[in-house]
Amino acid sequence: MKLYNKTLLWLALLLGLAGGLPAEDAQFAIGSIIKQFELPQRDDNGKMQSTIYGREATVMSQNRIRVRDLRINIYNGDEVGTKLVSPESDFWSEEKRLTTGSGVTVVQPEFTLTSVNMDWDIKNSKGVFSKRVRVVITQKGEILGDQPVPSAQGGEKAKP
């Protein structure tokens, strides 16, 4: 998830820049809005690492930026490996956190995670998903729900 953290820090940079100042020194007026933004991130060799999209970002306070229709694509090689989507989330610049109470979906080839709440600590690369959390595990793009469930005795039980 290190690339995920770097991507969110780029979001902070995008939303924190004003007049060429470093993000930590930037001062946006409360209520300032950035609309329809797309922020591609490439490594030193020009290879795509991630892209951050948003319909609208609003400065709620000196510490908080609300992003509507946030979508983050994180690349694994030439393909998108991880997608994060939230209808509304808050980026907290001082704490380096991304939170939502409006729902979030994280999609990777191996699983899809959905929940109502997310509190992601960008700096420490960890977070909490809560309220109606659902994880669907896949194997080579197929949902595993139809697989036999192993029993505690080592045999297989019928499909759930």
Percent share of the chain, pLDDT over 90:
37
Q: How far apart are CA 5 and CA 41, in angstroms?
A: 12
Backbone CA torsion sign across 108, 11, 37, 134: positive
Model pTM greater than 0.85?
no
Q: How far apart are CA 63 and CA 45, in angstroms?
A: 33
Strands 64-76 and 79-92: antiparallel
pLDDT tens digit string along 68-124? 999 988 888 889 998 999 999 998 988 989 899 999 999 999 999 999 999 988 778
Q: Give DSSP secondary structure letters for 64-120.
A: EEEEEEEEEEEEETTEEEEEEEEEEEEEETTTTEEEESS-EEEEETTEEEEESEEEE
- Select the more confidently predicted residue: 160 or 145: 145
CATH code at 2-17+32-143: 2.60.450.10
Mean of pLDDT values over 53-72: 92
